[in-house]
Structure 1
Amino acid sequence: MGGVTSTIAARFAFFPPTPPSYTVEADAATGRLAIPEISRTPARRRRRDGGGGGDASASGAVPAEDEGGTEVVRLRTRRGNEIVGVHVRHARASATLLYSHGNAADLGQMYGLFVELSRRLRVNLFGYDYSGYGRSTGKPTECNTYADIEAAYNCLKEKYGVADEDIILYGQSVGSGPTIDLSSRLPNLRGVVLHSPILSGLRVLYPVKKTYWFDIYKVNLIYFRLSQELWFLNG
């Protein structure tokens, strides 16, 4: 039933950018992945040119704490899809943000924001594309997004050695769905941020009072049960 529900709802719930805003290339010698389109973002270029509100030195150099580096990864989900993720590192990070972006966006469009958030908040940030978004394989469905965020979380734990106590889940718009689902099973997280969250997939389109069987992301039934510190952002 869950798979049928998700498939029906996905027809009006997901709008991946077409075509994707980026490509992924592997270095022939090292195998290291890179996204050519975001190799030098506008935000980073401003800092190199001496802008950015005083965060750059007089010579236009990027501060040392901003030079943590970015890594592009491909992750296999438990549903068999391969998703693309980016890990933006801050040398003085006090936490790691696991960012689930909103609808009609992909990593190529979000990367500049990721870099700015990492720099300003002094956090490591891991962002990923849902199945069917950007260069991630598969189709965007509710069940797939749950597997996608699990793969991203497992990557933080296994590849980067991040403890739950140092992870903050950040869900924007439709990203609040997988964020709430994962956080409901991880009581020791540092916190959860819901940015313009949805109450459910159907409630984005219609002001319904009843929760229907074919609805997806029933955030309204879950968020108040969370034990972690919870922040809401709107606008």
Structure 2
Amino acid sequence: MGGVTSSMAAKFAFYPPNPPSYNLVVNESNGKVGFSNVILKENVDVLKLCTKRGNEIVALYVKNPLASLTVLYSHGNAADLGQMYELFVELSIHLRINLMGYDYSGYGQSSGKPSEHNTYADIEAAYRCLEEIYGTKEEDVILYGQSVGSGPTLDLASRLDRLRAVILHSPILSGLRVMYPVKRSYWFDIYKNIDKIPLVDSPVLIIHGTSDEVVDFSHGKQLWELCKEKYEPLWVTGGNHCNLELFPEYIRHLKKFFSVIEKVPVLKNISKQSADQSELPRSSTDTREKSRSSVDQREKSRPSTEKLERSRLSADSNERSRSSTDKREKSRSSTDLKEKSRSSTDKRDKSRKSVDRPENCTNIIEQPERGRKSIDRFGGMMRSVALCNIDCFKPTGSKV
């Protein structure tokens, strides 16, 4: 039955560029692997990774010396690493992040054939590479899934409980729901994101164009409603499926998101260990906790990141209050019970004022934008890159 599912998925979901946009070459002077028609920067590594399903996939890692976070990017359909390279480099610079992208089995110069379960093994191999080769911690990883890439992204995110965050770019509810407005999940459907997103514990940012002609805008909205930890979404007015990077608000919103996520501590149970480090467990969506349905509608529409910001600011102010209180206690010698009581009351009042103060400190998170020229340069670069996923989920033989 699983074979039937993979066969169906291959027929209407996967369209790797043919021919691939790059070939692999080895630099004779330093032995590094590179792309035949792309001059790679010194801070870029090209790797070959083996998956648990026996395929060898190509991955690209962009290093930024100022980075504290790493993005694992699952690209959309009808694209490969040769086409995504310039975007990856620009995102690394503008967002001050390390970034790893990878080609799915059957894409670019990766071996094997595209299938749903192969993509799950592909992203797992890329994630293991971040841990084992680059020493990246789970709590410093942000998963980014674009279009069909939202499938492997949410599958992995639902099995990791200490991720820093998740970004979904023009995501799908499921493969079948892109073509038909079905109300339930069927066994032969692929990428059942609608069932997996309630299992994600990390903050989730969703970006979707309101004029998306391939994956309807309603997919992004419904996934956002099902998130446990919502971040303010970006609904790009007039944006379609393959041009959101051209809108100035795209990079602005990502910058704001990363500035918030960098400052917010990981609020997960970091003592929770995986039973088997060599195999990431995949739990059935039927046995995992479902999303809370009793939450007030007003709370649903409020970004959960506000909670995280208040938690961080409150923790900082309480720490300052405790430090100030300790100094006063050491310097003051109480000789009278009545005096002690008055001192205690004063401390509580001061502490209350200290806790109230962060309400006016939200400008710490809202950092000013760097020069407008950098955003214009980003947009100009994007116009020169072919990143269209218009063939996504197009039935075999149909024409756009």
Would the TM-score normalized by the shorter structure come out above 0.5? yes
TM-score by length of 1: 0.86
How far does the alpha carbon of each residue in 1:110-134 deviate from its partner, in whole angstroms, 9 at most, with x for none? 1111011000000000000000001
**Ranges in structure 1 where 5+ consecutive residues have no aligned partner:** 41-66
Q: Hey, what does 1:7 align to over in structure 2?
A: 7
- The one-letter amino acid paired with 2:26 is A
Instruction: Report the Cα distance in structure 1 between the residues aligned to 2:61 and 2:196, rounded to whole angstroms.
Output: 28
Q: Hey, what does 1:214 align to over in structure 2?
A: 188
Shift of 1:8: 1.6
Instruction: Report the Cα distance in structure 2 between the residues aligned to 1:68 and 1:93, rounded to whole angstroms.
Output: 16
Contact 1:192 1:231 in 2 (8 A): yes
Instruction: Report the Cα distance in structure 1 between the residues aligned to 2:150 and 2:3, rounded to whole angstroms.
Output: 19
- Match for residue 179 of structure 2 among 200, 205, 212: 205
User: SS where residue 118 of structure 1 aligns?
Assistant: helix
How far does the alpha carbon of each residue in 1:180-226 deviate from its partner, in whole angstroms, 9 at most, with x for none? 00011110011111111011011122222232211100001110221
- The one-letter amino acid paired with 2:9 is A
Q: Hey, what does 1:44 align to over in structure 2?
A: none
Q: Hey, what does 1:229 align to over in structure 2?
A: 203
Give the fraction of aligned pairs with identical amino acids, expressed as a percent: 61
1:94 aligns with 2:68: yes
Instruction: Report the Cα distance in structure 1 between the residues aligned to 2:182 and 2:137, rounded to whole angstroms.
Output: 39
Q: Hey, what does 2:18 align to over in structure 1?
A: 18
Contact 1:68 1:88 in 2 (8 A): no
1:35 aligns with 2:35: yes
Q: Hey, what does 1:160 align to over in structure 2?
A: 134
Shift of 1:26: 1.6
Instruction: Report the Cα distance in structure 2 between the residues aligned to 1:38 and 1:92, rounded to whole angstroms.
Output: 25
Contact 1:94 1:123 in 2 (8 A): yes
How far does the alpha carbon of each residue in 1:109-165 deviate from its partner, in whole angstroms, 9 at most, with x for none? 111110110000000000000000011000000010000000000000000000001
User: SS where residue 10 of structure 1 aligns?
Assistant: helix
Question: Compared with structure 1, are the counterparts of its residues 129 and 184 closer, same or farther at alpha carbon in structure 2 (3 Å cutoff)?
Answer: same
Q: Hey, what does 2:161 align to over in structure 1?
A: 187
Once the two structures are superposed, the pairs formed by residues 53-202 of structure 1 within 5 Å of their partners are 69-202=43-176
Shift of 1:36: 2.8
Instruction: Report the Cα distance in structure 1 between the residues aligned to 2:3 and 2:46, rounded to whole angstroms.
Output: 30
- The one-letter amino acid paired with 1:117 is L
- The one-letter amino acid paired with 2:27 is D
TM-score by length of 2: 0.51
Shift of 1:30: 4.0
Instruction: Report the Cα distance in structure 2 between the residues aligned to 1:215 and 1:68, rounded to whole angstroms.
Output: 42
Contact 1:77 1:151 in 2 (8 A): yes
The count of aligned residue pairs is 209
Question: Compared with structure 1, are the counterparts of its residues 95 and 68 closer, same or farther at alpha carbon in structure 2 (3 Å cutoff)?
Answer: farther
Instruction: Report the Cα distance in structure 2 between the residues aligned to 1:148 and 1:73, rounded to whole angstroms.
Output: 13
Instruction: Report the Cα distance in structure 2 between the residues aligned to 1:2 and 1:200, rounded to whole angstroms.
Output: 17
Contact 1:96 1:167 in 2 (8 A): yes
- The one-letter amino acid paired with 1:222 is K
Larger Rg: 2
User: SS where residue 150 of structure 1 aligns?
Assistant: helix
User: SS where residue 233 of structure 1 aligns?
Assistant: strand
Instruction: Report the Cα distance in structure 1 between the residues aligned to 2:27 and 2:87, rounded to whole angstroms.
Output: 25
Which segment drifts farther, 217-226 or 148-157?
A: 217-226
Instruction: Report the Cα distance in structure 2 between the residues aligned to 1:2 and 1:223, rounded to whole angstroms.
Output: 22
Shift of 1:68: 6.6
Q: Hey, what does 1:58 align to over in structure 2?
A: none
Instruction: Report the Cα distance in structure 1 between the residues aligned to 2:124 and 2:45, rounded to whole angstroms.
Output: 19
Contact 1:165 1:188 in 2 (8 A): yes
